Amino acid sequence: MVWNELASADPERALRFYGELFGWTFEPFELPGGRYWVARHGDRMVGGIGGLDTGPAGTTASSWICWVGVDDVDASVVTAVAAGGQIIEAACDVPEVGRVATIRDPAGAIIGLLQGL
């Protein structure tokens, strides 16, 4: 697991809740599609929180997504589809982060793939 991310129907409330629960602090991170905050525990980045518009395509309820580190996002997407998975968000580059894609496994669970810089 390399990153955990919350797509929230109420990001401001989520920031308060997780800040109080875990002692996290947050800093804004610019995304073209919506507002997003990087969560920190001390000096360590531990995840992110954004609105539903920053979550996987079709996200309609607040939910956490796990991002797993892979050596090659594009090859992993091909393997996932061959094994019965579905592409939710095609592979793309995220500046200062790396290459990402979101897939759904054959049972319906969503997971993010991250090839870091």
Q: Domain boundaries in the chain?
A: 1-62, 70-117
CA distances from 107 to 45, 83, 92 (A): 30, 12, 24
| Threshold 0.85, pTM exceeds | no
Are the folds of 1-62 and 70-117 the same?
yes
DSSP per-residue codes, 21-37: HH--EEEE---SSS-EE
> Is 70-117 a CATH 3.40.640.10 domain?
no
Fold for the domain defined by 1-62: 2,3-Dihydroxybiphenyl 1,2-Dioxygenase; domain 1 (3.10.180)
Tens of pLDDT, residue by residue, the chain (117 residues): 788 999 999 999 999 999 999 999 999 998 877 789 999 999 999 999 999 888 888 788 899 999 999 999 999 999 999 999 999 999 999 888 899 999 999 999 999 999 987
